Amino acid sequence: MMLASGSTLGPYTITAELGHGGMGVVYTAQDPRLKRQVAIKLLTADLTRDATAKQRFLDPVGPADVIRGEPPKKA
């Protein structure tokens, strides 16, 4: 799903594409409720059917912990 600048996704107004990769696309958007810019990450359509990919997409804390040198959390 490609989103053009100025289009909306829920309450958010897309301002630009930040980047894209194998799992999806990241956009900057304006959040009218918080009155600030936010990042929105969208998973590619084909990966929405892959349970492992969806879990990695929904759990961004794991990679951040690794960057900080902390061991991964056990579920």
pLDDT tens readout for residues 3-54: 999 999 999 999 999 998 888 899 999 999 999 999 998 888 888 888 888 8
Q: Does residue 38 lie within any of the structural domains?
A: yes
pLDDT of amino acid 59: 74
Domain holding 45: CATH number? 3.30.200.20
Which pLDDT score is estimated for 69?
Answer: 54
Element at 17 (helix H, strand E): strand 12-20
By three-state DSSP, how is residue 41 classified?
Answer: strand
pLDDT number for residue 62: 56
Residue 75 lies in a domain: no
Model pLDDT, residue 73: 57
Q: Is residue 1 part of a domain?
A: no
Beta-bridge partner residues of 26: 19, 41
